[in-house]
Amino acid sequence: MRMLKPLILFFSLLLFAGLASASALSTYTFDSNEEEQAFRDLSAELRCLVCQNQSLADSDAGLADDLRREVYNLWRDGKSEDEIKAFLVARYGNFVLYDPPFNPSTYILWFGPFILFIVGGIVLSRALKSKAEDQEVELSDEDKQRLKTLLSNDNQDAPK
C-alpha cells in the first residue's frame, strides 16, 4: 500500500500533464472540418519565432499562442493563406516561413549549405594532400648510413 500511493500520484500527474499539453489549435472554432484542416496546414507551414525548429502548430511558446491567435483572426476576417503569409513576412521577415521564397535576399538560405559542403570538401582534400606530401621525407646520406647500420645490426641479432 505504501508503494501504491506514489505510483497513483505519478500516473495522475502524467495524465494531467498530457491533458494540459493538448493541442492549442483545438481552442479555435471552425465552420467545417476542411476549414480546420486548412488552418492546421497553414500553422504547420509557419515557424515559431521563439522555438525556431518547431512549427507554429507544434509550439507551446507564448509568442506562438499570440501568432496562432493573429492567424486565426486574419483567417476569420476572410484573408487568404497568401495574404496571411504576406502579413507575417512583412512583420517578421521570411524566417517565419518554413519554405522561404527563392529570391536574391534568400539565396544564402538556398545555396549556403551546398557552398559550405563544397568548401569543406576542398579544405579536406587539400589537408589530406598536404599530409600525404609531408610523409615523403628525403633522408640525408648520413641518415641513410645510420639506418643501414641499424638494419644490419637487427638482422644479426635476430634469432635463427
Q: Where are the domains of the chain?
A: 22-101, 107-157
Second-level CATH architecture of 22-101: Orthogonal Bundle (1.10)
Instruction: Give 65's contacts (C-beta < 8 A, 6+ positions apart).
Output: 24
In contact, 151 and 139? CB cutoff 8 Å: no
Q: Which residues of 70-100 are buried (b: 16+ CB within 10 A; e: fewer)?
A: ebbebbeeeeeeeebbeebbeeeebebbeeb
In contact, 36 and 30? CB cutoff 8 Å: yes
Each residue of 93-136: pLDDT tens digit?
A: 888 888 878 888 888 878 999 999 999 999 999 998 887 766 66
Each residue of 9-22: pLDDT tens digit?
A: 676 666 665 554 44
